[in-house]
């Protein structure tokens, strides 16, 4: 089991910024856990870099999260146990099945890198997917580190689960479209969870 934040903590996910005050998963007695499953067979180094990036982004936003790498070689009990009430799931998928392949070729910069399943009635979600094929294409096209881009995509989708909506912001990590120019410019404010 690989954790990105040192040790286990009994402190719950706490939103330190007003925009995340309604986190449905917050509790005073259990930590928020994010399990990262890999259906893409991405290498462990890429996945570890992505988890470190996502953990840093969410920690900077004030969330205390226990990250668990549930890659193909993982024997961690947290990866096979039933999902608990404070567990969120991220699946790294090898390819996107949500759109015809031609869409990606015609408009690569607008193809979604992932999605989060959020119930609009209760304003909560528990699972998100990110598409490795799209992330690797975008990373190659922009010369951005693929592990960092994968981590940013994971943090973006976890952001949807934490705030309980699929809506996007006008700026920061939660904006809907990440342009090639923004990726290459790499301004810190473009990658903060707000």
Burial classification of residue 116, based on how many CB atoms lie within 10 Å of its CB (0-12 exposed, 13-18 middle, 19 or more buried): buried
- pLDDT over 70 percentage in the chain: 77
Total tally of structural domains belonging to the chain: 1
User: For the chain, what is the mean pLDDT?
Assistant: 80
Is the pLDDT assigned to residue 12 strictly greater than 70? Answer: no
**32-76: pLDDT as tens digits:** 999 999 987 768 899 999 999 999 999 999 999 999 999 887 777
Q: What is the DSSP string of 54-76?
A: HHHHHHHTT--EEEEEE-TT---
Judge whether 150 lies within some domain.
Answer: yes
Is the pLDDT assigned to residue 108 strictly greater than 70? Answer: no
Is the pLDDT assigned to residue 121 strictly greater than 80? Answer: yes
Judge whether 169 lies within some domain.
Answer: yes
In whole angstroms, what is the distance from residue 113 CA to residue 157 CA? 9
CATH code of 70's domain: 3.40.390
**128-168: pLDDT as tens digits:** 999 999 999 999 999 999 999 999 999 999 999 998 999 99
Judge whether 31 lies within some domain.
Answer: yes
Burial classification of residue 2, based on how many CB atoms lie within 10 Å of its CB (0-12 exposed, 13-18 middle, 19 or more buried): middle
87 in helix, strand or coil? strand
Judge whether 138 lies within some domain.
Answer: yes
Judge whether 148 lies within some domain.
Answer: yes
In whole angstroms, what is the distance from residue 89 CA to residue 118 CA? 12
In whole angstroms, what is the distance from residue 171 CA to residue 183 CA? 13
The residues facing 92 across adjacent strands are: 38, 130
What's residue 173's pLDDT? 96
Is the pLDDT assigned to residue 13 strictly greater than 50? Answer: no
In whole angstroms, what is the distance from residue 115 CA to residue 34 CA? 15
What is the domain extent for residue 78? 24-95+107-191
What's residue 52's pLDDT? 97
Measured in residues, the chain has a length of 194
What's residue 2's pLDDT? 29
């Amino acid at each position: 089991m690989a954790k990105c934040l040192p040790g286990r903590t009994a402190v719950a996910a706490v939103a330190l910024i007003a925009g995340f005050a309604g986190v449905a998963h917050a509790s005073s007695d259990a930590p928020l856990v994010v399990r990262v499953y890999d259906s893409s067979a991405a290498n462990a180094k890429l996945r570890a870099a992505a988890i470190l990036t996502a953990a840093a982004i969410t920690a900077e936003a004030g969330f205390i999260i226990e990250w668990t790498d549930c890659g193909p070689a993982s024997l961690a009990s947290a990866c096979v146990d039933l999902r608990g009430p404070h567990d969120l799931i991220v699946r790294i998928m090898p390819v996107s099945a949500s759109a015809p392949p031609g869409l990606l070729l015609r408009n690569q910069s607008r193809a979604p890198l992932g999605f989060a399943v959020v119930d609009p009635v209760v304003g909560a979600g528990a699972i998100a997917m990110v598409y490795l094929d799209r992330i690797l294409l975008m990373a190659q096209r922009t010369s951005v580190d693929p592990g960092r881009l994968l981590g940013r995509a994971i943090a973006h989708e976890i952001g949807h689960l934490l705030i309980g909506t699929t809506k996007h912001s006008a700026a920061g990590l939660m904006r809907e479209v990440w342009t090639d120019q923004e990726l290459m410019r790499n301004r810190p404010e473009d990658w903060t969870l707000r």
